Structure 1
Amino acid sequence: MRTRTDAGWDTTRFVVLGFGTAGYACADSLLQAGAEHLVVLDDRDTEALREKARILETLGATITLGPGSTAELPKDVDVVVTSPGVPPHAPLLAQAAERDVPIWSEIELAWRLRDPANAAPWLCITGTNGKTTTVQMLTAMLRAAGHRAVAAGNVGLPLLEAVLDPEPYDVIAVELSSYQLHFTHSMSAHSAAVLNIAPDHVDWHGSLEAYAADKGRIFANCQVACVYNVADPATEHLVEEADVIEGCRAIGFTLGTPGLSMVGIVDDLLVDRAFIEQRSTSALELATIGDITPPAPHNVANALAAAALARSFGVPATAVRDALRRFRPDAHRIAHVAEVAGVNYVDDSKATNPHAAQASLLAYEHVVWIAGGQAKGATFDDLVIAARRSLRAVVLLGQDKAVIAEALERHAPDVPRIVVESTDTGAMEIVVGEAAKLAQVGDTVLLAPGCASWDMFANYGARGDAFAEAVRRLG
């Protein structure tokens, strides 16, 4: 296996915190890199974990599972590698910080495990919403240009697998969450983008400011382009605060007419005024809005961000256009389910926070909005204020439906709303039935919950599937 020859993996004493998918990948990669002193800790103890433990123990790792396993940091440790779901205030991480023991994310480990002779550049993307779609669009553009590229990180291939592939990639499109960025220190992306900043995961980070700062870590040591959202000043501020490689440029993306060093929209064209020699006086056509499916404003913004990163890597305009024409987003992302009795039904179950739900709502003229679930401490006042003119009616379900109902009462008291109290498996059929009664011909019934799904469903996909099945029965 290709590894850095100067890393000293054999003498470094590692602790891997967490033994889920990320933790197992980290431990396995360290062992393959030559680590001889490796301890893995997890408070869970299941047969599946014990089976994985037996595999790594045969390779020399020490695995400790069960309650209390992560309560105390071992005395002899040089580096802690933590799984992304573990918050910084967890006891073991707090002890590591007190003892000045370096803490690495899986992303930090992947960066350090790259082969310096064949290291693929990273094009990195983060943001509260739109990361996965944008990374997938970017990967499609890179491949259309003939590059051996892969989507990795928080989506697609695990990043450790991507960097250790025996056949090196030309470039890696990397989706990064705020969790992953928090303990990432030495990464130096070719180019990076922050799509947007909105309240999310504040319970993990401690404050919105800390959450935004962790998102901004993606720009540290950036080499060619820091891509920001012109409509979101917080993202531009992160660029301004970043310590980048000399010569790295700030590149904006906008749904309006682009200024110098931006990509944006002129009439119905996506254009580039950032990566052409004549950018002070002209723009290069990349694609049309009609090339994007669906052409909702926030999805057009995703396409522009992807195009900016692709162009920073030298992808020609024709490859940007061809990739967008072929690209279709994953399921449960503003997906058209059916038209029934002149009403369109759209599944955006992936809209798991108010910012994402608001973007989805504003893409339609008249909406019967289906919302609710676990709000994760979020508020809905700004969403209701922004979208109230589009709201035909609202149907609410789930654990925190009252939070949304209260925001509607404050800012849109005249909008009809139905509250569905049922929490069993048939609740979505009731919800869709009520929405159908409220909708008029030409309206859109939109599942954009603005909340997590775990109170009633296994995940947002199961919630979207239940919605689609209920719509089919309605038809």
Structure 2
Amino acid sequence: MDWQGKHVTVAGLGVSGVPAARVLHGLGALVTVVADGDDERSRTQAAELEALGITVRLGDGATLPESTELIVTAPGWKPDKPLFLAAAQAGVPLWGDVELAWRLRGLHGRTPAPWLAVTGTNGKTTTVRMLASILEAAGLRTAAVGNIGVSLLDAVLDEEPYDVLAVELSSYQLHWAPSVRAHSAAVLNLAPDHIDWHGSMEAYTADKGRVYEGNGVACVYNVADPATERLVREADVEEGCRAIGFTLATPGPSQLGVVDGILVDRAFVANRQKQAQELAEVGDIDPPAPHNVANALAAAALARAFGVKPAAVRDGLRAFRPDPHRIEHVADIASVTYIDDSKATNTHAAEASLAAYDPIVWIAGGLAKGATFDDLVSGAAKRLRGVVLMGADRELIREALARHAPEVPVVDLARTDTGAMSDAVREAAGLARPGDTVLLAPACASMDMFVNYNKRGEAFADAVRARAAESA
């Protein structure tokens, strides 16, 4: 595309809108940025863009600027925005920042790096970072991009080309990226999330399934989640692309799985009916919780689809260290283990976290985002020593506990300021016995009390460390 003089509207500022505006301006486009907000952060970002000659309209995200030939949107903007409805009526195409990166990846004659893409309700970031670690162990120039790490636009435009990119894609990003065609892709799992944005579970699932469209080598799915395999069956892929499953059980042909504590590959071997290739040990994964082993298997499958040798899978998993607030060990106090999984912001993530420990004193609550908790509580009831509830929607969890675990002691904290976490840790410690795990896995978003899940996790860790210091 010839960008010189093309009128492009960028919808939204932030971590995707600002880079998109800069890149398009640098290509010669006439860029107008529109944003709903008009706060101090937005004004600072606007001033930086305006200094480059980019027009910015704050507090005016609904009006389609005149002469607009293309809209590039931040992924979080909902499809029913008046701006987008006006664009549809005017016949103006609409891309997300991921679509823009895909379209620019061969700019100036570069050889585009293949994309190994990962989506799913939970585990995306961990899996992509594991994959990048494996690819690096194989001697490849790579980066974890998309929702994390290096900006996807920066990666595709880097003067030194990458060999391959490990790309995390959210359902929002996939919705706005119709042209993306990955080398190979994985859907880790599917559970209700962001239904308010997509409108239905069916629409959410369909957007996740876009990651498989046009795959060239492998569509990786979760054997334990049949919905992911259905998406593979429904996808329009290149001839010869294979369906590759991952499982925590003994794998069948064309699957990766676990045998006697060993991660094994029965997909990328000469005779998958009779042969299996050892890749790594469960003990090579940090932490070796079941859902994290599943993440490692998905990462290994994508790496193997790209031709990575078994030794690099092992070395990459050994080198990987999880991000903070993802089943992170904080401390052991009086023979009680304290685990921070503040990133468990929905019921599916909390279910995986709760399955990794026994017995548990569970700290939960926050913004439910329309979730229900009966299945989560009934599945975990036998492992619960006690529960400490906090946050705006804690009543929903308390009601589920009354229905499915009435014998489990529950402490309901009415305090809703950030200092409530110290009370939660104190109450949890009072419920715990030696050998127990106090687990922060809120199953809810954090914004009722904290800026984000990171701040919530930091508050938990600070409270635990303060208690450890008192006990020393």
TM superposition score normalised by structure 1: 0.96
CA shift at 1:424, angstroms? Answer: 2.4
Asked if 1:341 corresponds to 2:334, the answer is yes
Partner residue of 1:61 out of 54, 72, 82: 54
Partner Cα separation in structure 2 for residue 344 and residue 52 of structure 1: 43
- Tell me whether 1:178 sits opposite 2:152 in the alignment: no
Q: Residue 92 of structure 2 corresponds to which residue in structure 1?
A: 101
Matched with 1:24 is 18
Please give the secondary structure, in 1, of the residue aligned with 2:143.
strand
Residue 203 of structure 2, aligned match among 200, 210, 222: 210
CA shift at 1:426, angstroms? Answer: 2.4
Q: 1:227 aligns with which of 198, 220, 225?
A: 220
Counterpart for residue 456 of structure 1: 449
Could you tell me which amino acid in structure 1 is paired with residue 301 of structure 2? A
Distance 1:342 1:57, change over 3 A: closer
Letter in 1 for 2:121: T
**AA matched with 1:82:** T
Structure-1 separation of matches of 2:183 and 2:114: 6
8 Å contact kept, 2:6–2:28: no
1:351 aligns with 2:355: no
Decide which of 301, 314, 327 is 2:307's aligned counterpart: 314
Paired residues for 1:103-142 under 5 Å: 103-115=94-106, 117-142=110-135
Paired residue secondary structure (1:387): helix
Name which of structure 1's ranges 437-446 and 89-98 shifts more when overlaid on structure 2.
Answer: 89-98
- Give the residue type in structure 2 aligned to 1:71: A
Are 2:182 and 1:189 aligned? yes
Identity value in percent: 62
Aligned residue identity for 2:104? L
1:377–1:74: structure 2 CA closer, same or farther, 3 Å change rule?
A: same
Q: Which runs of 5+ in 2 are unaligned?
A: none
Q: Which moved more, 1:49-58 or 1:296-305?
A: 49-58
- In structure 2, C-alpha distance between the alignment counterparts of 1:155 and 1:203, rounded to whole Å: 23
- Structure 1: distance between partners of 2:304 and 2:44: 45
- Which residue does 1:239 correspond to in 2? 232
Once the two structures are superposed, residues 181-219 of structure 1 have per-residue CA deviations (whole angstroms, 9 ceiling, x without a partner) of 101011110110010001111000001111111111111
Q: For residues 423 and 37 of structure 2, what CA distance do their matches in structure 1 show?
A: 37
Alignment counterpart, residue 2 of structure 2, candidates 4, 8, 30: 8
User: Deviation at 1:308?
Assistant: 0.2
The one of 281, 286, 308 equivalent to 2:279 is 286
For residue 474 of structure 1, report the CA deviation from its aligned partner. 2.0
1:86 aligns with 2:77: yes
The one-letter amino acid paired with 2:184 is S
Match of 1:152 among 127, 145, 156: 145
CA shift for structure 1 position 46: 3.8
* In structure 1, distance between residues paired with 2:269 and 2:381: 41
- In structure 1, list runs of 5 or more residues that go unmatched: 1-6
CA RMSD of aligned residues (A): 1.3
Counterpart check, 1:275 vs 2:268? yes
1:396 alignment partner in structure 2: 389
The letter for the 2-side match of 1:21 is V
Paired position in structure 2 for 1:386: 379
* Counterpart-to-counterpart distance in 2, 1:474 and 1:300: 31
> Following TM superposition, by how much is the alpha carbon of 1:77 offset from its aligned partner in structure 2, in angstroms?
2.0
Q: TM-score, normalised by structure 2?
A: 0.96
Q: Residue 120 of structure 1: SS of its match in structure 2?
A: coil
Distance in 1, matches of 2:317 and 2:197, equals 35
Partner residue of 1:424? 417
Question: Structure 1 residue 63: deviation in Å?
Answer: 1.7
SS at match of 2:186: strand
Give the drift of 1:410: 1.4
Match of 1:42 in 2: 35
Count matched residues.
Answer: 466
Taking the aligned partners of 1:152 and 1:275, their CA distance within structure 2 comes to 25
